[in-house]
């Protein structure tokens, strides 16, 4: 709180200093202008407006279209400000910097003018201090061009820019963000690319200032015009880079969801690349139509918890998105408001929605158009996830029994062993249909298929949701019991054996179809095949001792 107040005090003092400076030196600076100076300043002002509107990320290629403070201060304005400083003095350099900050950059949220003015005048004291170096810079630019003159000019200008960066802007950021100043300094001093950028830009400023002094204002302005072209190219490159980055994040999020891990970090980064403030809202990402149903399912939440009244309002907003087909639906009540933004795939199909919850006290942090853009980004991601997940589900399901096939069972076994190694328990049941060959031989393969399908249904009805069951191959079934004690494992095995015997299936001689069951227990030292092998040996003993029984592996996990 103290740091925040200190920052606000500095902003207010900077505004007063700027106002006093304009009153004291403004009229004298205007009277001192010659026609050549006026032409140079008008050209510099035009370039300043263009660069301020572009606000191109020149210090480093960013993944977001929204430049960070670091790229904002070591950007394409540096050569222009230094050139104006060397040719016209600190007052006009400060005015150009002030104008650049007051321009409303494209794509950024529209801050009120008083807020932008307060932020812009923060640079005024540092530029007023530039009066110390304005004379040496002007003399270095006025002499005959040489490497020595260039070196002197670049050294003075680069030292000044770095001093402003480290001794003025960094402390302000530390106050505003309540961060450690030493950490900010260490990061900036270790950034060799920024230092190199400053040196290149000060060399450019030397060329502009010398040509303007020796050849006239118009040639000096002409040397500044490429800055606008470079700014436009960097802006387009930043947009392309942001798009590539978001595609990479989308791929990572899909991969995380398909591997049953948390995709929230990737989706969070995806949203932050559009606007970092998005994830500070009370925000929900919902998917539509997962599993082939016309239902909504919540994927993840960001921000503060949502009151129950707004939760119900959010459900109504999602229903409106589904029924009306609108891209944006807004629901309001006395408890607050809900904004639902439809997330469509590349073909226009509804794949989900981004829902923003606001209580009456919450102020909007992000413009509606940015939420629409974020929803448009995640729509294809949700569509891709749904398509791939459906394909993988089909590839992992046994069509005859409806249970996971051997591939799905292998994946469940892998997850089970991970659980065991982290301290959990698993019991493994291996079931085999007794005399199954006789069913195929005497009753036909269709009867064998019906028997397998019925046994699959019986198994599915007799295991919990946290357990896993699947067709292991042929007439064998495998059941994984999560955190099951020895007693429960044997109880479930016996229940399955009895349910299948009483399930209405019969051999050709009329006797009921039965199964033999082998039971084993996973240990943390086991590989995936070890526990299955023990269950298989127990099943073999059950077959050899009369069938239609449960046999336990002698090796019991503790």
pLDDT tens digit string along 125-161?
A: 888 888 899 999 999 999 999 999 999 999 999 999 8
Mark residue 517 as left, alpha or beta (left: phi above 0; alpha: psi -120 to 50; beta: remaining). beta
Rounded Cα–Cα distance for residues 76 and 40 (Å): 18
Which residues, other chains included, contact 37 with Cβ-Cβ below 8 Å and sequence gap of 6+? 87, 88, 217
Helix axes 217-258 and 77-88, enclosed angle (nearest 10) = 160
Of residues 541 and 4, more confidence is placed in 541
Q: Around Cβ 390, how many Cβ atoms within 10 Å?
A: 13
Residues 406-552, CATH architecture: 2-Layer Sandwich (3.30)
Do 148 and 97 meet the contact criterion of CB atoms below 8 Å apart? no
- 144: DSSP letter: P
Helix axes 131-142 and 90-102, enclosed angle (nearest 10) = 110
326 classed as catalytic? no
Do 396 and 414 meet the contact criterion of CB atoms below 8 Å apart? no
Q: What 3-state DSSP class applies to 60?
A: coil
- Tell me the residue length of the chain: 558
Between strands 515-521 and 550-552, the pairing is parallel
Provide the mean pLDDT of the chain. Answer: 83
Rounded Cα–Cα distance for residues 30 and 36 (Å): 13
Kindly state the tokens that stand for 144.
């005959």
Alpha helix stretches (DSSP H) within 129-286: 131-142, 147-164, 170-177, 181-189, 192-214, 217-258, 264-274
Kindly name the residue from 475, 494, 501, 533 that is annotated as catalytic: 475
- 290: DSSP letter: G
Rounded Cα–Cα distance for residues 207 and 26 (Å): 27
Residues above pLDDT 70, as percent of the chain:
85
Q: Name the CATH superfamily, with its identifier, for domain 276-395.
A: GAF domain (3.30.450.40)
Which residues, other chains included, contact 6 with Cβ-Cβ below 8 Å and sequence gap of 6+? 175
Q: Around Cβ 53, how many Cβ atoms within 10 Å?
A: 16
* 384-388: average pLDDT: 60
> Which range (54-63, 186-195, 227-236) has the least confidence?
54-63
Q: Quick check: 274 pLDDT over 80?
A: no
Q: Quick check: 251 pLDDT over 70?
A: no
Do 220 and 96 meet the contact criterion of CB atoms below 8 Å apart? no
Q: Quick check: 409 pLDDT over 90?
A: no
Of residues 513 and 232, more confidence is placed in 513
Of residues 494 and 6, more confidence is placed in 494
User: Torsion over CA of 407, 411, 414 and 415, rounded to 10 degrees?
Assistant: -160
Three-state SS sequence of 438-451: HHHHHHCHHHHHHH
Of residues 262 and 360, more confidence is placed in 360
* 40-59: average pLDDT: 81
Q: Quick check: 520 pLDDT over 90?
A: yes
Q: Domain residue spans in the chain?
A: 2-233, 276-395, 406-552
Which residues, other chains included, contact 210 with Cβ-Cβ below 8 Å and sequence gap of 6+? 141, 142, 145
**What is the reported pTM?**
0.53
* 404-408: average pLDDT: 86
Question: What DSSP string runs through 73-87?
Answer: HSSTHHHHHHHHHHH
| Number of helical H runs and strand E runs in the chain | 21, 10
pLDDT tens-digit series, residues 490-499: 999 999 999 9
**Residue 436 confidence (pLDDT):** 93
pLDDT tens-digit series, residues 356-366: 999 888 877 77
Q: Quick check: 63 pLDDT over 50?
A: no
Half-sphere exposure for 320 (CA within 13 Å, toward CB): 18
**Residue 71 confidence (pLDDT):** 40
CA-based nearest residue to 97, from 129, 68, 66, 137: 129
* 46-57: average pLDDT: 81
Residue indicated by tokens 């997330």: 343
Rounded Cα–Cα distance for residues 493 and 481 (Å): 10
Half-sphere exposure for 547 (CA within 13 Å, toward CB): 10
Which residues, other chains included, contact 147 with Cβ-Cβ below 8 Å and sequence gap of 6+? none
Radius of gyration of the chain (CA): 35
């Amino acid at each position: 709180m103290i740091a925040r107040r200190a920052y606000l005090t500095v902003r207010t003092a900077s505004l007063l200093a700027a106002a006093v400076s304009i009153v004291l030196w403004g009229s004298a600076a205007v009277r001192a202008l010659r026609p050549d100076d006026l032409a140079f300043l008008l050209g510099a002002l035009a370039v300043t407006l263009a660069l301020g509107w572009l606000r191109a990320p020149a210090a480093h290629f960013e993944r977001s279209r929204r430049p960070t403070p670091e790229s904002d201060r070591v950007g394409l304005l540096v050569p222009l400000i230094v050139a104006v400083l060397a040719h016209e003095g600190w007052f006009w350099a400060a005015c150009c910097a002030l104008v650049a900050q007051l321009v409303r950059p494209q794509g950024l949220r529209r801050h009120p003018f008083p807020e932008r003015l307060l932020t812009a005048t923060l640079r005024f004291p540092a530029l007023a201090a530039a009066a110390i170096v304005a004379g040496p810079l002007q003399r270095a630019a006025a002499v005959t061009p040489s490497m020595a003159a260039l070196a002197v000019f670049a050294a003075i200008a680069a030292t000044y820019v770095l001093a402003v960066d480290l001794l003025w802007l960094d402390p302000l950021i530390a106050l505003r963000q309540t961060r450690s100043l030493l950490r900010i300094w260490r990061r900036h001093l270790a950034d060799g690319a920024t230092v190199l950028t400053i040196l290149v830009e000060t060399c450019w400023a030397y060329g502009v200032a010398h040509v303007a002094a020796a050849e006239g204002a118009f040639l000096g302005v002409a040397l500044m015009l490429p800055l606008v072209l470079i700014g436009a190219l960097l802006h387009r490159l930043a947009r392309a880079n942001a798009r590539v980055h978001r595609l990479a994040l989308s791929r990572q999020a899909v991969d995380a969801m398909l591997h049953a891990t948390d995709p929230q970090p990737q989706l969070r980064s995806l949203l932050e690349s559009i606007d970092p403030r998005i994830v500070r809202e009370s925000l929900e990402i919902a998917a539509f139509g997962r599993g082939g149903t016309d239902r909504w399912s919540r994927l993840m939440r960001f921000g503060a918890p949502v009151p129950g009244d707004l939760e119900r309002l959010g459900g109504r907003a999602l229903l409106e998105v589904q029924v009306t087909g609108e891209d944006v639906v807004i629901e309001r009540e006395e408890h607050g408001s809900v904004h639902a933004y439809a997330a469509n795939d590349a073909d226009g199909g509804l794949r989900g929605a981004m829902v923003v919850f606001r209580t009456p006290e919450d102020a909007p942090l992000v413009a509606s158009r940015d939420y629409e853009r974020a929803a448009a980004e995640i729509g294809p991601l949700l569509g891709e996830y749904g398509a791939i997940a459906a394909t993988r589900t089909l590839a992992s399901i046994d069509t005859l029994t409806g249970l996971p096939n051997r591939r799905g069972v292998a994946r469940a076994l892998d997850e089970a062993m991970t659980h065991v190694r982290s301290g959990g328990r698993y019991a493994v049941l291996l079931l085999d249909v007794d005399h199954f060959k006789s069913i195929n031989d005497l009753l036909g393969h269709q009867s064998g298929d019906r028997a397998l399908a019925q046994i699959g249904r019986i198994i599915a009805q007799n295991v919990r949701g946290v357990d896993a069951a699947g067709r292991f191959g042929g007439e064998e079934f495998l059941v994984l019991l999560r955190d099951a004690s020895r007693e429960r494992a044997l109880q479930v095995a016996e229940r399955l054996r009895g349910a299948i015997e009483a399930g209405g299936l019969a051999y050709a001689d009329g006797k009921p179809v039965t199964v033999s069951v082998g039971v084993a227990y996973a240990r943390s030292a086991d590989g995936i095949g070890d526990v299955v092998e023990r269950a298989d040996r127990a099943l073999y003993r059950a077959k050899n001792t009369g069938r239609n029984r449960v046999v336990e592996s002698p090796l019991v996990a503790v």
